[in-house]
Amino acid sequence: MTDKIDTESFKEFARLRELRVSHRDLDYLIDRLSHDPMVDQLRIRRLKKRRLILKDMIAALESEL
Protein backbone atom coordinates (compact mmCIF):
# COMPACT_ATOMS: atom_id res chain seq x y z
CA MET A 1 0.00 0.00 0.00
CA THR A 2 2.78 2.43 0.90
CA ASP A 3 4.60 1.67 -2.35
CA LYS A 4 1.49 2.52 -4.34
CA ILE A 5 1.10 5.84 -2.53
CA ASP A 6 4.78 6.65 -3.01
CA THR A 7 4.56 5.81 -6.71
CA GLU A 8 1.48 7.98 -7.16
CA SER A 9 3.12 10.86 -5.28
CA PHE A 10 6.22 10.51 -7.42
CA LYS A 11 4.09 10.63 -10.57
CA GLU A 12 2.28 13.73 -9.33
CA PHE A 13 5.55 15.50 -8.53
CA ALA A 14 6.95 14.52 -11.94
CA ARG A 15 3.80 15.85 -13.62
CA LEU A 16 4.08 19.08 -11.62
CA ARG A 17 7.68 19.48 -12.75
CA GLU A 18 6.66 18.91 -16.39
CA LEU A 19 3.93 21.52 -16.13
CA ARG A 20 6.31 24.05 -14.57
CA VAL A 21 8.88 23.48 -17.30
CA SER A 22 6.23 23.91 -19.99
CA HIS A 23 4.99 27.10 -18.30
CA ARG A 24 8.53 28.47 -18.11
CA ASP A 25 9.15 27.61 -21.77
CA LEU A 26 5.98 29.42 -22.79
CA ASP A 27 7.03 32.43 -20.71
CA TYR A 28 10.30 32.55 -22.57
CA LEU A 29 8.65 32.11 -25.98
CA ILE A 30 6.01 34.76 -25.31
CA ASP A 31 8.68 37.19 -24.13
CA ARG A 32 10.77 36.60 -27.25
CA LEU A 33 7.81 36.91 -29.61
CA SER A 34 6.52 40.03 -27.88
CA HIS A 35 9.66 41.88 -28.91
CA ASP A 36 9.22 40.97 -32.58
CA PRO A 37 7.02 43.54 -34.36
CA MET A 38 6.32 41.11 -37.22
CA VAL A 39 4.81 38.36 -35.06
CA ASP A 40 1.12 37.54 -35.26
CA GLN A 41 -0.69 38.90 -32.20
CA LEU A 42 -3.23 36.09 -32.41
CA ARG A 43 -0.39 33.60 -31.92
CA ILE A 44 0.76 35.46 -28.81
CA ARG A 45 -2.79 35.49 -27.40
CA ARG A 46 -3.11 31.75 -27.98
CA LEU A 47 0.22 31.11 -26.27
CA LYS A 48 -0.83 33.27 -23.31
CA LYS A 49 -4.08 31.33 -23.05
CA ARG A 50 -2.17 28.04 -23.05
CA ARG A 51 0.19 29.43 -20.39
CA LEU A 52 -2.80 30.41 -18.23
CA ILE A 53 -4.25 26.91 -18.57
CA LEU A 54 -0.91 25.48 -17.47
CA LYS A 55 -0.85 27.86 -14.50
CA ASP A 56 -4.31 26.68 -13.46
CA MET A 57 -3.26 23.05 -13.80
CA ILE A 58 -0.18 23.72 -11.68
CA ALA A 59 -2.26 25.41 -8.98
CA ALA A 60 -4.77 22.55 -8.94
CA LEU A 61 -2.05 19.92 -8.68
CA GLU A 62 -0.23 21.85 -5.94
CA SER A 63 -3.43 22.07 -3.91
CA GLU A 64 -3.80 18.27 -4.13
CA LEU A 65 -0.29 17.73 -2.79
pLDDT in tens, the chain (65 residues): 556 667 888 899 999 999 999 999 999 999 999 999 899 999 999 999 999 999 999 999 999 87
* Residues ≥6 apart with Cβ < 8 Å to 23: 51, 54, 55, 58
pTM equals 0.82
Taking alpha carbons only, the member of 58, 34, 63 closest to residue 48 is: 34
Q: Can you give the pLDDT at residue 38? A: 92
Domain definitions of the chain by residue range: 2-64
